[in-house]
Amino acid sequence: MARANELVEEVLNEYRDLLAIVSEDRFKPRAYEKAARSIGGYHADIGGFGVRELQDIPNVGKSIAEKVHELLATGSMQELEELRAQVPAGVRQLMSIPGLGPKRAMILYRECHIAGVQELLDAIHEGRLAGVKGFGKKTEENIVRGVAQLQQSGGRVQVGVALDLAEELLGVLSTVPEVERATYAGSLRRMAETIGDIDLLVASGTPGPVMEAFASNPYVDRVMARGETKSSIITTKGLQVDLRVVPPEVWGAALQYFTGSKAHNVHVREIAVRKGLKLSEYGLFEAESGELIVADTEEEVYERLGLPWIPPTLREDRGEIEAARDGELPTVIELSDLRGDLHTHTDLTDGLAPLEKMVETAAGLGYEYYAVTDHAPNLYMQEMTDEKMLRQRRRLRELAEEQRMVLLHGTELNIDPEGEVDWPAEFLEGFDVTVASVHSHFNQSKDDMTRRIVRAMENPHVNVIGHPTARMIGKRQGIEFDLDAVFEAAARTGTALEVNSFPDRLDLRDEHILWARRHGVRFAVDTDSHSPVHLPFMRFGVATAQRGWLTKDDVINAWPLERLRDFVARKRAGP
Ligand code: DGT
Ligand code: CA
Ligand code: CA
Ligand code: ZN
3-class SS string, 190-243? CCCCEECEEEEEEECCCHHHHHHHHHCCCCEEEEEEECCCEEEEEECCCCEEEE
Contact assessment for residue 411 and residue 389, using Cβ atoms and an 8 Å cutoff: yes
DSSP state for residue 507 in the 8-state scheme = B
Atom 1 of ligand 1 has which residue's CA nearest to it? 196
Determine, yes or no, domain membership for 330.
no
Domain CATH number, residue 100: 1.10.150.110
- Answer yes or no: do 342 and 314 share one domain: no
Which mutation among 156, 183, 191, 199 tests ligand 1's pocket best, with the greatest number of atoms within 8 A of CB?
A: 199
pLDDT at res. 153: 61
**Ligand with an atom nearest the CA of residue 350:** 4
Q: Which stretches of the chain drop beneath a pLDDT of 70?
A: 1-2, 151-154
Distance set, CA 447 to CA 90, 450, 453, 454, 479 (Å): 39, 5, 10, 11, 11
- Answer yes or no: do 410 and 553 share one domain: yes
CA atoms within 13 A on the CB side of 177: 0
State whether the Cα torsion 327-333-335-339 is positive or negative.
Answer: positive
pLDDT at res. 104: 85
Q: 186 C-alpha to center of ligand 2: Å? A: 5
Report the alpha-carbon distance of residue 381 to residue 149 in Å, rounded. 28
Atom 9 of ligand 1 has which residue's CA nearest to it? 186
User: Strands 194-195 and 157-158, how do they pair?
Assistant: antiparallel
Q: Write the DSSP assignment of 469-484 as a string of letters.
A: T--BTTTB------HH
**Ligand with an atom nearest the CA of residue 412:** 4
**Nearest CA among 209, 281, 194, 298 for reference residue 246:** 281
Contact assessment for residue 524 and residue 559, using Cβ atoms and an 8 Å cutoff: no
Identify residue 476 by its one-letter amino acid code: R
- Answer yes or no: do 289 and 305 share one domain: yes
Q: 184 C-alpha to center of ligand 2: Å? A: 9
Residues with CB under 6 A from ligand 1: 186-187, 192, 195-197, 199, 257-258, 260-262, 265-266
Q: 58 C-alpha to center of ligand 4: Å? A: 19
Q: 95 C-alpha to center of ligand 2: Å? A: 29
Report the alpha-carbon distance of residue 169 to residue 149 in Å, rounded. 30
Q: 186 C-alpha to center of ligand 1: Å? A: 6
Contact assessment for residue 375 and residue 410, using Cβ atoms and an 8 Å cutoff: no
pLDDT at res. 322: 97
Report the alpha-carbon distance of residue 221 to residue 548 in Å, rounded. 36
pLDDT at res. 154: 64
Q: Write the DSSP assignment of 366-384 as a string of letters.
A: T-SEEEEEEEPTTSGGG--
- The three-class DSSP label of residue 363 is helix
- Answer yes or no: do 386 and 340 share one domain: yes
Q: 14 C-alpha to center of ligand 4: Å? A: 25
Largest Cα–Cα separation, the chain? 79
Report the alpha-carbon distance of residue 376 to residue 562 in Å, rounded. 26
Which mutation among 159, 258, 310 tests ligand 1's pocket best, with the greatest number of atoms within 8 A of CB?
A: 258
What's the domain count of the chain? 4
Q: 195 C-alpha to center of ligand 2: Å? A: 6
Report the alpha-carbon distance of residue 432 to residue 428 in Å, rounded. 9
Which bin fits 531, alpha (ψ -120 to 50), beta or left (φ > 0)?
A: beta
* Residue 181 lies in domain: 157-246
Which residue among 277, 306, 325 closes a domain?
325
- Answer yes or no: do 169 and 267 share one domain: no
- Answer yes or no: do 343 and 441 share one domain: yes
Q: 262 C-alpha to center of ligand 1: Å? A: 5
Report the alpha-carbon distance of residue 321 to residue 300 in Å, rounded. 16
List the end-to-end C-alpha distance of the chain, in Å, as a whole number. 55
- Answer yes or no: do 216 and 286 share one domain: no
Q: Which atom of ligand 1 is nearest to the CA of 190?
A: 7
User: Which helix (H) or strand (E) segment is 67 a member of?
Assistant: helix 62-74
- Helix count and strand count (H, E) for the chain: 24, 17
User: Strands 277-280 and 240-246, how do they pair?
Assistant: unpaired
CA atoms within 13 A on the CB side of 571: 29
Q: Which atom of ligand 1 is nearest to the CA of 197?
A: 2
- Answer yes or no: do 519 and 458 share one domain: yes
Residue 297: Cβ-neighbour burial (10 angstroms; 0-12, 13-18, 19+): middle
pLDDT at res. 151: 67
Which mutation among 265, 269, 313, 321 tests ligand 1's pocket best, with the greatest number of atoms within 8 A of CB?
A: 265
Determine, yes or no, domain membership for 90.
yes
Q: 505 C-alpha to center of ligand 2: Å? A: 21
Bond preceding residue 204 cis, omega within 30 of 0: no
Which mutation among 157, 187, 242, 255 tests ligand 1's pocket best, with the greatest number of atoms within 8 A of CB?
A: 187
Report the alpha-carbon distance of residue 157 to residue 299 in Å, rounded. 30
**Nearest CA among 387, 305, 395, 412 for reference residue 355:** 395
Which residue among 293, 325, 357 closes a domain?
325
- Answer yes or no: do 546 and 475 share one domain: yes
Is the pTM higher than 0.85? The answer reads: yes
pLDDT at res. 142: 82
**Ligand with an atom nearest the CA of residue 231:** 3
**Ligand with an atom nearest the CA of residue 259:** 1
Atom 30 of ligand 1 has which residue's CA nearest to it? 262
Radius of gyration in angstroms for the set of CA atoms belonging to the chain, rounded to a whole number? 26
Contact assessment for residue 276 and residue 287, using Cβ atoms and an 8 Å cutoff: yes
**Ligand with an atom nearest the CA of residue 166:** 2
Q: 166 C-alpha to center of ligand 3: Å? A: 13
Contact assessment for residue 515 and residue 483, using Cβ atoms and an 8 Å cutoff: yes
- Answer yes or no: do 97 and 33 share one domain: yes
